[in-house]
Structure formats: structure tokens, C-alpha cells
Amino acid sequence: MKECVNRKENLKFCTCTYVSCSRKGMCCECIRHHREVGEIPGCLFPKEAERTYDRSVEKFIEVMSK
């Protein structure tokens, strides 16, 4: 994985609480990973829903339609 030149700046705004994530602050890599596995990146979820680590499309629809 190539180092992201914007990583330091991105980390200021990254809301992902998954501590051991190797893509933290590398938005392009994060989006690619979650897209490949049929998920939504955690940063698009509301804070409490993000902490469940359920990145499924179904969970996203559930929390966003409330």
C-alpha cells in the first residue's frame, strides 16, 4: 500500500474508531476496501452507528432512514 500524502490532514477528520485499521487516514484506500467487500466506510455513519463496526449497506440504510 502506497503512503498517502494527505494522511496527516485526513486523520484530523477521520471518525473511524477501529483502532487497528491500517487504512486510517487514507480515504482512497478505505473506500476501495469497503467497496470491494460490499460495505460502506465508517465515516459515513452517524457516530453511534459507526461504533458497532457493522459497515453493511443494510445497517447504513437502517440508521439513515430513522
- Domain limits, the chain: 7-64
Instruction: Please give the Cα distance from 41 to 60 (Å, whole number).
Output: 10
Residue 42 contacts residue 17 (beta carbons within 8 Å): yes
Instruction: Please give the Cα distance from 14 to 37 (Å, whole number).
Output: 20
Predicted pLDDT at 39: 97
Grid coordinates 440504510 are at which residue? 61
* Ordered mean pLDDT values, 10 residues apiece, the chain (66 residues): 88 93 94 96 95 96 94
Predicted pLDDT at 66: 86
Predicted pLDDT at 55: 97
Q: Which helix (H) or strand (E) holds 8?
A: helix 7-11
